[in-house]
Amino acid sequence: MATPADHLPQAIADEKLSSFITSIGLPCPSSVSQLSVSAQFHAVYAISFKSEDLKYVVPAASTELILRVSGDHIPDRKTRNEVACLQWLKIHSKIPVPAVVKWDATTANLLEREFILLERVPGQSIDSLYIRLTDESKLSIVQQLADIVVQMHDKTWDVVGGLTIDDGDLTGQTIHPGPILDEMFWMPPDIVAHWDPHVPGESFATLNVEGPFRGFAEYSAAQLEKLAYAISKHPMTAPVRYFVPRVNLLTAALREDGLDSLGKTVNSGLKYVLAHRDLHLGRDLHLGNVMYDHATGRITGVLDWEFAGLVPERMWNPVRCFLWNCKNDENSKAEQRKLLTDFKGHCESRGVFLHIDGLMEHIEPPSEDEIPTPTQLRASLNTLLTYLGGMVNFFPRNKRIDKMETWKEAVEVALKELGF
């Protein structure tokens, strides 16, 4: 199966990069080089200037910059979302994030690509030096990250979605809620590969939700509508098409407005916060995206905000990658558990409680004679979105077909718990 990295831009020659930099109003760089990083959605370049050129690259604090050149995965909204999130955090928090120097969410530039030019954050990613950290250093990192997460929860919103920003805004004055971002979206290169041969005419807009949405119920209804549409169209989802009528009934119920409506119940008591990652994958607030100065013991920056979004506060860590050191072994899991214990302890000492497991945790469904609580309904709804989303994401690629029966059972249970 293709990955987003398979659709990154071709390498850009140094001469063209230098010409591009001057074309956006900056001095000619003293050096340019492509970085070998594991970015999935951007080609990444280091851009350096002479020390006397610092005044031209404000608000960057140094003459070392990073150029992120976008692939063709999610046109326009991903670039705007990342810029808006970075600018908002600069204005409204003390979270260390790189300053934005220039950006363009169009292809009307010399590179013919969307791009963001950022200051280069000093230090190393924590995962790369984790083995050298003392227990004292790890505890300090956990405490600093707790302070970062608390700041993200301090501001609440009234929508599910992303953030967006107007063209040319470098000060964050036009930031407002915008379309949602999700790594599970059907992106243009994959639509061409897996939809066009079977169902010509589908597009990013027909297969993915937009937003922002006035709460989790409205978001869920929009997502279910898109999933039902995809299941009804693609031949590889034909074996699960019998779910569509019930999903459509649930979608309609979520959109009803009455005081005792399902949508009102689902939204009951919810607050929405800015999270570092989207609703379902949520993988990026791991230690590979946290920069650290080993000499000072301070976190110097949190990177990669392109899929950040406004989510129910319980869903800020949906697949539990927070504090993961990016190693795929049992010791890594044990380390993460230890750090999470320290994290909870630090939060409690501050009088703060943050949900680590989110809506992905198992919540016992109501018995037959019980009325489901809002939490139980949200858990069932999230389960339904997860497994229907898996069917729509994998089956058209002829992947995970062996999971079909298991996933069908999970969908059946979730629909019954929701009363459909």
Is the model's pTM score more than 0.85?
Answer: yes
Q: Are 97 and 103 in contact (CB under 8 A)?
A: no
According to the model, what pLDDT value does residue 409 have? 98
Report for 227-231, 261-265, 340-344: range of highest mean pLDDT: 227-231
Question: Taking the mean position of all CA atoms in its chain, how far away is CA 226?
Answer: 19
The rounded percent of the chain whose pLDDT value lies above 90 is: 75
Residue 101 has pLDDT above 90, yes or no: yes
Structure tokens at 236: 């590889």
Cα dihedral 186, 187, 193, 199 sign:
positive
Q: For residue range 62-86, what is the model confidence (pLDDT) as tens digits?
A: 999 999 999 888 999 999 999 999 9
Overall average pLDDT of the 324-340 stretch: 88
Tell me which of 114-123, 153-162, 331-340, 406-415 is least confident.
Answer: 331-340
Which residues neighbour 176 within 8 Å (Cβ) at sequence distance 6 or greater? 163, 164, 165
Per-position b or e across 402-414, b if 16+ CB within 10 A of its CB: eebeebbebbeeb
Cα dihedral 95, 97, 102, 106 sign:
negative
Overall average pLDDT of the 56-61 stretch: 94
According to the model, what pLDDT value does residue 361 have? 46
Q: Are 60 and 99 in contact (CB under 8 A)?
A: yes
Structure tokens at 327: 């190693």
CA distance 183 to 5: 13
Q: For residue range 362-387, what is the model confidence (pLDDT) as tens digits?
A: 456 666 667 788 989 998 999 999 99
Judge residue 143's burial from the number of C-beta atoms within 10 Å of its C-beta, 0-12 exposed, 13-18 middle, 19 or more buried: middle
Residue 281 has pLDDT above 60, yes or no: no
CA distance 384 to 72: 29
CA distance 67 to 79: 12
Residue 9 has pLDDT above 90, yes or no: no
Residue of 258, 237, 296, 263 whose CA lies nearest to 381: 263
Phi-psi label, residue 389: left if phi above 0, alpha if psi -120 to 50, beta otherwise? alpha
Name the residue type at position 416: K
Using only C-alpha atoms, the chain has a radius of gyration, in whole angstroms, of: 22
CA distance 158 to 177: 10
Structure tokens at 260: 């005792």
Q: Which helix (H) or strand (E) holds 81?
A: helix 77-92
Q: For residue range 142-199, what is the model confidence (pLDDT) as tens digits?
A: 999 999 999 999 999 999 999 999 999 999 999 999 999 988 899 999 999 999 999 9
According to the model, what pLDDT value does residue 205 have? 96
Instruction: Look up the CATH superfamily of 4-122.
Output: Phosphorylase Kinase; domain 1 (3.30.200.20)
CA distance 323 to 308: 17
- Cα separations (Å) of 62 from 28, 30, 33, 48, 76? 16, 14, 17, 9, 28
Residue spans of the domains in the chain: they are: 4-122
